[in-house]
């Protein structure tokens, strides 16, 4: 009976840690997406300025 309680506690601890890990992965993914969007917008602005730059 004691082994079952320890196993259950361990399973709950691992599942909570997994949820936090997945949350951190999604949060990192959001930041990577934001950085990519900023980079693409910056590249588009740079190309437009080079295309329509007077000199």
Is the pLDDT assigned to residue 13 strictly greater than 70?
no
3-state secondary structure 1-55: CHHHHHHHHHHHHHHHHHHHHHHHHHHHHHHHHHHHHHHHHHHHHHHHHHHHCCC
Cα 7 from Cα 13, distance rounded (Å)? 10
Q: Which two tokens stand for residue 33?
A: 């997406």
Does this model's pTM top 0.75? My answer is no
Is the pLDDT assigned to residue 46 strictly greater than 70?
yes
Residue 25, C-beta contacts closer than 8 angstroms, at least 6 positions apart: none
Interval 23-47 mean pLDDT: 91
Tell which wins on pLDDT, 43 or 23. 43
Tell which wins on pLDDT, 52 or 17. 52
């Amino acid at each position: 009976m004691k082994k079952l309680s320890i196993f259950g506690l361990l399973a709950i601890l691992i599942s909570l840690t997994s949820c936090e890990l997945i949350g951190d992965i999604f949060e990192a993914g959001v930041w990577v997406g934001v950085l990519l969007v900023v980079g693409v917008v910056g590249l588009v602005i740079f190309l437009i300025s080079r295309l329509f730059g007077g000199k």
